[in-house]
Amino acid sequence: MKLLESKIIISYKIYVRWGKMSGIHFMKTDDLERVKDFYTNKIGMQEWVDQGECIILKHGNMLLGFCEADGSDTDGVITFFYRTKEQVDRMYETFKERAESEPIKRESYNIYNFFAEDIEGRTIEFQTFLHPLKPYLDSIELLEGRRSVREYENREVPEEVLEDIFETCRYAPTSKNSQSYYFIPIKDRDTIEFMADRRAPNSGPIAEAPMAVAVCCDPDNTGRVQQDGDIAAYHFTLTAWSHGLGTCWIAAMDREDVKDKLGIPQDHYVATVTPLGYPEEIPKTPERKEAKEFVRRID
């Protein structure tokens, strides 16, 4: 137990200087390499820090530590949660032989889950929440996971969620901190259909969502109207994704008829009019270039 306590103190000293503290849950194991292999290869966790007698693994924003000791901690439940039921089902296929039962919906918690055991007898749970969540994605997961969404569920975006998104968007960078951008939520159905028809079929996804948002910029406040507006729009798409909402960048909406419809001065810049809503499904990751293919170094 002294070893475990000393490692926690070391970890605290390392991470507290970063500012806000995150959390690490440490457990004892009598076979560190075997546990590491199980959680990295079977579940897909990544090694975050190797402290010799302790390792810290990462799964999204979860940090899980294991330290060599006499005996293993097996109390409690380690829960991994995912964005969709399909992801939980895929984990069930991996852990079918270790699972207590098939995934089921648990009405009392409004989740979809199943339980299994790891190689030392710990209970591990795989679940998805069946209701909207506050943001939880870490920064890398957010940047790698954002997708353009073109099909949406038929449910409204709660006003409090929308307010939280705009609150975060206050921190979008602008030239000389001009804060020259502004957002126009669009919920009127006739206006949504009008926007969807402007560049059909390219603007068609706007009509599939319960609402849209125009991201604009005021040239009276900045000398970099396009850059400020585009950065604010991307800030908005990332923030929306962190709240479980999809968007789709609709280009070339800086148009006279769009501005007339929304009451926007003609000299203002419209970066995009994006649909906004809960995705019908999460689009698959398209094929991406390797980093070495688009990094051009100057000797």
The domain spanning residue 32 has which CATH number?
Answer: 3.10.180.10
Q: What pLDDT score was predicted for residue 14? A: 39
Q: What pLDDT score was predicted for residue 212? A: 98
Q: What pLDDT score was predicted for residue 23? A: 87
pLDDT band at 3; cut points 50, 70, 90: very low
Give me the CATH number covering residue 149.
Answer: 3.40.109.10
**Cβ-contact 154, 220 below 8 angstroms:** no
Residue 32 lies in a domain: yes
Q: What pLDDT score was predicted for residue 147? A: 95
User: What gap in Å lies between CA 29 and CA 73, rounded to an integer?
Assistant: 7
Residue 172 lies in a domain: yes
Q: Same domain, yes or no, for 151 and 100?
A: no
Q: What pLDDT score was predicted for residue 132? A: 87
Q: What pLDDT score was predicted for residue 180? A: 98
Q: How many CB atoms lie within 10 A of CB 97?
A: 6
Share of residues in the chain with pLDDT > 70 (%): 93
Q: Same domain, yes or no, for 273 and 188?
A: yes
Q: Same domain, yes or no, for 222 and 97?
A: no
Domain end residue (candidates: 89, 107, 129): 129
User: What gap in Å lies between CA 272 and CA 28, rounded to an integer?
Assistant: 52
Q: What pLDDT score was predicted for residue 19? A: 52
Average pLDDT score over residue span 67-76: 94
Q: What pLDDT score was predicted for residue 204? A: 97
Q: Same domain, yes or no, for 111 and 81?
A: yes
Q: What pLDDT score was predicted for residue 48? A: 96
Q: Same domain, yes or no, for 121 and 148?
A: no
pLDDT band at 64; cut points 50, 70, 90: very high
Q: Dump pLDDT digits (tens) for 17-49.
A: 445 667 899 999 999 999 999 999 999 999 999
Q: What pLDDT score was predicted for residue 2? A: 44
Q: Same domain, yes or no, for 122 and 180?
A: no
Q: What pLDDT score was predicted for residue 6? A: 42
Residue that wins the pLDDT comparison between 22 and 291: 291
User: What gap in Å lies between CA 240 and CA 263, rounded to an integer?
Assistant: 24
Share of residues in the chain with pLDDT > 90 (%): 88
Residue 282 lies in a domain: no
Q: Same domain, yes or no, for 269 and 149?
A: yes
**Cβ-contact 112, 105 below 8 angstroms:** yes
Q: What is the residue-averaged pLDDT of the chain?
A: 92
CA nearest neighbour of 56 among 102, 7, 123, 114: 7
Examine the pLDDT at 9 and tell me if it is beyond 90: no
Q: Same domain, yes or no, for 144 and 211?
A: yes
Please return the burial class of 214, using the count of CB atoms within 10 Å of its CB with bins 0-12, 13-18 and 19+: buried
Average pLDDT score over residue span 1-18: 41
Q: What pLDDT score was predicted for residue 192? A: 98
Q: What pLDDT score was predicted for residue 21? A: 61
Residue 12 lies in a domain: yes
User: What gap in Å lies between CA 183 and CA 108, rounded to an integer?
Assistant: 38
Please return the burial class of 79, using the count of CB atoms within 10 Å of its CB with bins 0-12, 13-18 and 19+: middle
What residue numbers bound the domain in which 208 lies?
139-277
pLDDT band at 15; cut points 50, 70, 90: very low
Q: Same domain, yes or no, for 216 and 118?
A: no
Residue 295 lies in a domain: no
Domain end residue (candidates: 109, 129, 149): 129
Q: Same domain, yes or no, for 179 and 99?
A: no
Q: Dump pLDDT digits (tens) for 133-147.
A: 999 998 999 999 999
Examine the pLDDT at 5 and tell me if it is beyond 90: no
Examine the pLDDT at 198 and tell me if it is beyond 50: yes
Strands 123-129 and 25-29: unpaired
Examine the pLDDT at 12 and tell me if it is beyond 50: no
Residue 286 lies in a domain: no
Q: Same domain, yes or no, for 143 and 120?
A: no
Taking the C-alpha atoms of 73, 74, 76 and 79 in order, what is their torsion angle to the nearest 10 degrees?
100
Q: Same domain, yes or no, for 196 and 77?
A: no
Residue 293 lies in a domain: no
How many domains does the structure of the chain reveal? 2
User: What gap in Å lies between CA 65 and CA 55, rounded to an integer?
Assistant: 6
Residue 210 lies in a domain: yes
Among 63-67, 226-230, 231-235, 285-289, the least confident range: 285-289
Q: Which amino acid is at 274?
A: T
Strands 62-68 and 25-29: parallel
